[in-house]
């Protein structure tokens, strides 16, 4: 049987992915910061293995290895942990917490998974980044910067696996706005998607061993046009809107 560890399985997308994988017959290990939420998940999936951990803590790799041992191995490592807030005020605490979780924490657990799969000789790493990594977003500087970092880091690991001739599949999941607690801060977000629908797309992408998956088609179209914008237009959108349309 295939074995998957889901980091960030206490709520939102991570929880929905864990539920779907279990329904498909995977042995699932669920990890996250909130032990009470993990226990609730275990009531829904009695067979699930759980482990409380924080990706920003130095002992996270050790706890992941403990969970792997309890499960008898790992074939898929799925990372759903992350934070992000609009922070036009540039509150230093928010910016640094985002870097700590999405940068340092991400690197800590992703490299732990890669090292395990390197030793095993194969495996699959999938992680949620974001379409926000495509361009720098002025109201969320550290969030968009860390998502770009994640995109590049996963690309580097894909190349490393090729150079080392190890069949480690890398899947970069790039959703748009998802209706989870991450966005519950009183701001308006267009085209929000339900986590259940996003989880279905993620599991499908994992099963098909996709390298990059943008969710959904609306955001794929949006990213296509984003990439066409020259830097001067992206950084001064109102100026060019006034020039072109008189806004």
Q: Model pTM?
A: 0.89
Residue 224 within a domain: no
Residue 99 within a domain: yes
pLDDT of residue 6: 98
Residue 236 within a domain: no
Which of the two residues, 11 and 20, has the higher pLDDT score? 20
Query: Which domain range does residue 35 map to?
Result: 3-215
* CA atoms in the 13 A half-sphere facing the CB of 7: 31
Report the C-alpha gap between 241 and 247 in whole angstroms: 6
Over residues 31-40, mean pLDDT: 95
pLDDT over 60 (residue 243): no
Residue 233 within a domain: no
Q: How many CB atoms lie within 10 A of CB 241?
A: 12
Residue 155 within a domain: yes
Residue 137 within a domain: yes
Residue 142 within a domain: yes
**Structure confidence by residue, pLDDT tens digits, 45-88:** 999 999 999 999 999 999 999 999 999 999 999 999 888 888 88
pLDDT over 50 (residue 245): no
Q: What is the CATH number of the domain that holds 26?
A: 3.40.50.720
Please write down the HEC assignment for all residues of the chain.
CCEEEEECCCCHHHHHHHHHHHHCCCEEEEEECCHHHHHHHHHHCCCCEEEECCCCCCCHHHHHHHHHHHHCCCCEEEECCCCCCCCCCCCHHHHHHHHHHHHHHHHHHHHHHHHHHHHHCCEEEEEECCHHHCCCCCCCHHHHHHHHHHHHHHHHHHHHHHHCCCCEEEEEEEECCECCHHHCCCCCCCCCECHHHHHHHHHHHHHCCCCEEEECHHHHHHHHHHHHCCHHHHHCHHHHHHHHHCC
**Structure confidence by residue, pLDDT tens digits, 180-232:** 665 555 565 666 778 889 999 999 999 999 999 988 777 777 777 777 777 77
22-45 residues labelled b (16+ CB within 10 A) or e (exposed) = beeebbbbbbbeeeebbeebeeeb
Inter-residue contact 25 to 86 (CB < 8 Å): no
pLDDT of residue 241: 46
Residue 64 within a domain: yes
pLDDT of residue 237: 66
Over residues 127-138, mean pLDDT: 86
pLDDT of residue 24: 95
Percent of the chain at pLDDT above 70? 88
Mean pLDDT of the chain: 88
CA 95 to chain centroid, in Å, comes to 18
pLDDT of residue 179: 65
Which of the two residues, 242 and 73, has the higher pLDDT score? 73
- What burial class does residue 75 get, using C-beta atoms within 10 Å of its C-beta: 0-12 exposed, 13-18 middle, 19+ buried? middle
pLDDT over 50 (residue 151): yes
- What confidence tier does 246 reach under pLDDT thresholds 50, 70, 90? very low
Q: Specify the number of domains making up the chain.
A: 1
């Amino acid at each position: 049987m295939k074995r998957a560890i889901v980091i960030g399985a206490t709520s939102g997308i991570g929880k929905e992915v864990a539920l779907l994988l279990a329904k498909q017959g995977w042995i699932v290990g669920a990890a996250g910061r909130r032990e009470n939420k993990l226990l609730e998940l275990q009531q829904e999936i009695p067979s699930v293995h759980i482990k409380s951990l924080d990706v920003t803590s130095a002992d996270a790799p050790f706890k992941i290895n403990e969970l792997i041992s309890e499960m008898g191995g790992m074939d898929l490592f799925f990372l759903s942990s992350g934070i992000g807030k609009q922070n036009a005020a540039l509150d230093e605490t928010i910016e640094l917490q985002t870097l700590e979780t999405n940068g340092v924490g991400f690197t800590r657990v992703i490299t732990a998974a890669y090292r395990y799969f390197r030793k095993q000789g194969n495996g699959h790493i999938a992680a949620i980044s974001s379409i926000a990594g495509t361009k720098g977003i002025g109201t969320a500087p550290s969030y968009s910067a860390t998502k770009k970092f994640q995109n590049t880091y996963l690309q580097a690991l894909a190349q490393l696996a090729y150079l080392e001739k190890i069949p480690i599949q890398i899947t970069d999941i790039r959703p748009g706005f998802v209706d989870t607690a991450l966005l519950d801060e009183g701001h308006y977000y267009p085209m929000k998607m339900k986590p259940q629908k996003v989880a279905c797309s993620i599991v499908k992408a994992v099963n098909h061993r996709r390298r990059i998956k943008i969710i959904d088609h609306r955001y794929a179209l949006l990213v296509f046009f984003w990439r066409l914008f020259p830097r001067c237009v992206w950084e001064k959108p109102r100026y060019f809107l006034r020039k072109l349309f008189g806004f």
